[in-house]
Amino acid sequence: GERPIYGATTGFGALVGYAGRPDEADQCDNTLAHLGAGQGPDLPHGIVRAALLVRARSLAQGLSGVSAEVVERLAAMFATTFSPAVPRYGSVGASGDLVPLAYAAQALRGRGHAYADGRRMPAAEALAATGLRPLALDGRDALALVNGTSVTTAALALAHDTVRTAHRALTALTCLLADLLGCDPGFLDADLLRAYGHPGAVDTGTRMRRHLAGTTPSGTRPLQEPYSIRCSPQLLGAAEDALRHIDAVIAADLAGVSDNPLFFPGVGDPVHPDPAEGRAVHGGNFFGQPAAFAADLLASVTAQLGNLAERQLDLLVDPARNGGLPPMLATEPGVQHGLQGVQLATTAFVAEIRRCAAPAAMQSLPTNLHNQDIVPFGTQGALRAHDLAEL
């Protein structure tokens, strides 16, 4: 007989050895209903809508076997304010983001809850309010909507964008601090940084020299500045290299197909391939390990940028080290308290970032009757990275 197709003619996960439901609508219900076990607060609208954009991009490549209508209806959603209500907790990052994406798929069908114009309501009402029709799915459509790492990729991409902005700002603020204190810019020497051997440091040093062009050292500073100034191009440069790597991971995930199985056309005429030559290939393209590693790296970068900013603030407000500026930069110390509250809050923020920066990708636990005997936990890592970036 014909070879079974996972999710279309079979059960799911550990129950793949059993037959699925013969009716396509029932198979869709079978796919989505058992995944409705998410917990916690709703994810931010930006992450949910970005995840569906990533999903549409993956499905549009034509290897998931979904109907064109699914992609078209996903695209139509972005012209409205519709956003599915998706609980934060429930994904292990392989077989994709099953639980959160199941909530999104159900909302598109008019089940569960969703947002319209920022208001939470039953999904059927949100669809009506935004002029959308409930999406009809068969079993393959339903599985393809949920069997990918789109939530992980979306959260990681948004977090990366925020941290990239913070990195640029901290680079500029480091230069402002060096100028304010009258530091000698020798720590940015081009030959020095080329000898260091890391491209991020070379490029960061170039940007910092441009920022400081035309400034004059005070001549009263120590021979060597504290590390938070002197080693800033090395630290910020390492962050630059890490952010470039993370960007490459995100780009690969956005360009790739995250699903299982994939359907490859025949080898005949590219316009009219012979369907008899087509293949359904079962594998693990839903396994979000690259994004999991990248999310942990992004959290580490965020924490170290926070450490640098906190140490530079401490240098700025300390009269013993800031070149004679008043304590806490208060114009009338005692009558005014300057940046004292800002420093307290900064210390709390950095402590929270450091507390949450522990790696998620190594937390694998076997599940699903040992079918999923190792998982990447990239979703937790990416959502955590997004939380830290927002701090």
How many Å apart are CA 108 and CA 380, to the nearest integer? 24
How many Å apart are CA 175 and CA 319, to the nearest integer? 19
What is the four-CA torsion angle of 143, 149, 152, 154, rounded to 10 degrees?
-90
3-state secondary structure string across the chain: CCCCCCCCCECCHHHCCCECCCCHHHHHHHHHHCCCCCEEEECCHHHHHHHHHHHHHHHCCCCCCCCHHHHHHHHHHCCCCCEECCEEECCCCCCCCHHHHHHHHHHHCCCCEEEECCEEEEHHHHHHHCCCCCCCCCHHHHHHHHCCCHHHHHHHHHHHHHHHHHHHHHHHHHHHHHHHHCCCHHHHCHHHHHHHCCHHHHHHHHHHHHHHCCCCCCCCCCCCCCHHHHCHHHHHHHHHHHHHHHHHHHHHHHHCCCCCCEEECCCCCCCCCCHHHCEEECCCCCCCHHHHHHHHHHHHHHHHHHHHHHHHHHHHHCCCCCCCCCHHHCCCECCECCCHHHHHHHHHHHHHHHHHCCCCCCCCCCECCCCECCCCCHHHHHHHHHHHHHC
Biggest alpha carbon distance in the chain? Answer: 87
Residue 6 appears among annotated catalytic residues: yes
How many Å apart are CA 278 and CA 258, to the nearest integer? 19
Of 6, 18, 196, 227, the active-site residue reads 6
Beta bridge partners of 42: 87
Residues serving a catalytic function are 6
